[in-house]
């Protein structure tokens, strides 16, 4: 379906004019970071744009393999949406982020998007699986606007890599990364993008961290970040190192030591707490035959290719049904409506936060003043917290200009709630307000 997007007048700027606009915006943003007004004069200083939700791989630990709604049946962002936000906001900022949870470099519009960044002197952070770097002309188009490139790289051997990064080819990715590094090294240091590697540590690659550190060093990586795999469903526990905590701790310590020897900067996962005394189960590495067979299997995502569109969220339904206030909205739970607990104190679309005086709590969140997230469908959100559901929809770029959304009533109410310590409950599930909230992201 093609949507109608309100036209944004296009101005042409000289490099000097662009530099001045960006500098002015930084100065304004600095002032407003202190005062935190409801209506801002500064544009965001960072914009995350989900240019696609799709990915060319089918990694088994990815939530998209398990979700029958937010999966790869969702389309790329329409060019008209990208173009609209670019013409309006790009003159004022320096860096955007093209990555959210898809593979940004397979977007059908990626060349036009990179060209638009070049025209507005904007750079981008990109997280990629490394495969699309081989697209003809892509590295040449990307490098001049690349602020940082992070490759998601989950193994140090071909067989494990091709099992975890299902659909990727080890030789291709390694060759692409070498080429990227060679090409970036030819740029002057001030224009050279940072080169990072993200690694998900899990059962299949349990014994590979030291090898990975050595490979990252050889590829010219500036910064390596290793995280434990996130267990989305109970049955996935065996894909993690939860039953092999001592082995995991030993491997992480050895990898840290090797990184220090090689002078490779990095972040390593915290060591497991072993104080409960529960012994490790015997670690049996996956056999070569098993890895090979799994690599060939199709994942459920394929089945979702023709899935129905996501159902409307509670806020969208409330707006459609003309529910007038937050009090009325919350009371709809008694009539059987699905109202997540995260909405107990209302949503900014329907009014000010209902948080009582006794629960006022200062919070440092700077997101609604500093940056914004634009989804593939043009919805603008303040951050990527899943606890927001559709309360995160500050406005729709298919209907309004970015400036109308950025200073619209919904954004204003959200900013006010944060400044006054009356954050809506969905913010109270957030790591910024409540780092250890057990209710986080609960659907009940």
Q: Does 433 bind ligand SF4 (CB under 6 A)?
A: yes
**Closer residue to ligand SF4 in complex, CB, 183/432:** 432
**Closer residue to ligand SF4 in complex, CB, 211/366:** 366
Q: Does 129 bind ligand SF4 (CB under 6 A)?
A: no
CB of 365 to ligand SF4, least distance (A): 3
Please select the residue that binds ligand SF4; options are 66, 219, 271, 432, rule is CB under 6 A: 432
CB of 362 to ligand SF4, least distance (A): 12
- Distance CA(352)–CA(413), nearest Å, equals 6
- Distance CA(104)–CA(441), nearest Å, equals 26
The window from 13-21, 103-111, 320-328, 365-373 that contacts ligand SF4 (CB under 6 A) reads 365-373
- Distance CA(185)–CA(189), nearest Å, equals 8
Residue matched to tokens 């998007």: 113
**Closer residue to ligand SF4 in complex, CB, 142/339:** 339
CB of 315 to ligand SF4, least distance (A): 15
**Closer residue to ligand SF4 in complex, CB, 201/373:** 373
**Closer residue to ligand SF4 in complex, CB, 64/413:** 413
Segment 160-164 long-range contacts (CB within 8 Å, at least 24 positions apart):
160/204, 160/205, 160/208, 160/286, 160/291, 162/291, 162/295, 163/60, 163/204, 163/286, 163/291, 163/294, 163/295, 164/59, 164/60, 164/61, 164/200, 164/202, 164/204, 164/205
49, 374 contact by CB (below 8 A):
yes
The window from 281-289, 313-321, 402-410, 425-433 that contacts ligand SF4 (CB under 6 A) reads 425-433
The window from 52-60, 71-79, 158-166, 428-436 that contacts ligand SF4 (CB under 6 A) reads 428-436
**Closer residue to ligand SF4 in complex, CB, 180/389:** 389
Contacts of residue 223, defined as CB under 8 A and 6 or more positions apart, other chains included, come to 194, 195, 196, 197, 265, 266, 267
Contact string 375-414 vs ligand SF4 (x = CB under 6 A): -------xx-x-----------------------------
The window from 27-35, 174-182, 239-247, 429-437 that contacts ligand SF4 (CB under 6 A) reads 429-437
Strand, helix or coil for residue 97: strand
DSSP result, 298-360: PPGGGGGGGPPPPPPPHHHHHHHTT--SHHHHHHGGGGT----GGGTT--TTTSS----GGG-
CB of 36 to ligand SF4, least distance (A): 12
CB of 367 to ligand SF4, least distance (A): 4
Contact string 315-354 vs ligand SF4 (x = CB under 6 A): ----------------------------------------
CB of 35 to ligand SF4, least distance (A): 17
Rg, Å, the chain Cα set: 23
Cβ neighbour number for residue 7 with a 10 Å cutoff: 11
- Distance CA(133)–CA(173), nearest Å, equals 8
Please name every residue paired with 110 in a beta bridge, in sequence order, or none if there are none: none
Residues at the site binding ligand SF4, with contacts judged by CB under 6 A: 363, 365, 367-368, 382-383, 385, 426-427, 430, 432-433
């Amino acid at each position: 379906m093609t949507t109608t997007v309100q036209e944004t007048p296009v101005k042409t700027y000289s490099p000097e004019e662009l530099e001045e606009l960006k500098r002015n915006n930084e100065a304004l943003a600095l002032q407003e970071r202190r005062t935190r007004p409801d209506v801002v004069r500064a544009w965001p200083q960072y914009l995350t744009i989900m240019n696609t939700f799709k990915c060319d791989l089918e990694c088994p630990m990815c939530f998209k393999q398990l979700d029958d709604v937010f999966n790869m049946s969702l389309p790329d962002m329409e060019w008209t949406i990208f173009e609209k936000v670019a013409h309006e906001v790009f003159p004022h900022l320096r860096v955007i982020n093209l990555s959210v949870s898809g593979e940004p470099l397979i977007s059908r519009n990626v060349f036009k998007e990179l060209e638009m960044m070049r025209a507005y002197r904007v750079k981008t952070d990109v997280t990629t699986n490394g495969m699309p770097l081989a697209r003809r002309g892509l590295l040449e188009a990307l490098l001049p606007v690349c602020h940082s490139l992070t490759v998601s790289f989950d193994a140090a051997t071909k067989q494990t890599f091709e099992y975890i990064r299902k659909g990727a080819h080890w030789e291709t990715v390694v060759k692409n990364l070498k080429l990227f590094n060679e090409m970036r090294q030819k740029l002057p240091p001030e224009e050279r993008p940072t080169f990072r590697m993200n690694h998900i540590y899990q059962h299949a690659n349990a014994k590979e961290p030291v090898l990975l550190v050595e490979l990252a060093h050889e590829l010219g990586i500036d910064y390596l970040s290793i995280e434990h795999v996130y267990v989305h469903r109970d049955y996935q526990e065996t894909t993690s190192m939860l039953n092999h905590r001592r082995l995991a701790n030993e491997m992480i310590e050895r990898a840290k030591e090797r990184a220090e020897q090689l002078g490779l900067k990095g972040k390593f996962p915290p060591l497991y707490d072993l104080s409960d005394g529960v012994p490790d189960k015997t670690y049996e590495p996956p056999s070569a035959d098993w890895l090979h067979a799994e690599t060939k299997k199709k994942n459920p995502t394929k089945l979702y290719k023709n899935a129905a569109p996501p159902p409307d969220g509670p806020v969208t339904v409330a707006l459609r049904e003309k529910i007038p206030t937050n009090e009325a909205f919350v009371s709809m739970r008694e009539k059987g409506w699905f109202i997540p607990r995260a909405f107990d104190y209302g949503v900014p679309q329907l009014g000010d936060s209902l948080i009582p005086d006794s629960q006022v709590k200062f919070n440092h969140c700077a997101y609604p003043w500093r940056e914004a997230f634009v989804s593939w469908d043009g919805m603008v959100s303040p951050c990527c917290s899943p606890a927001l559901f559709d309360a995160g929809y500050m406005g729709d770029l298919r209907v309004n200009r970015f400036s109308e959304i950025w200073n619209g009533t919904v954004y204003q109410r959200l900013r006010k709630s944060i400044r006054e310590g009356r954050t809506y409950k969905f913010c109270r599930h957030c790591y910024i307000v409540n780092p250890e909230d057990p209710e986080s992201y609960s659907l009940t």
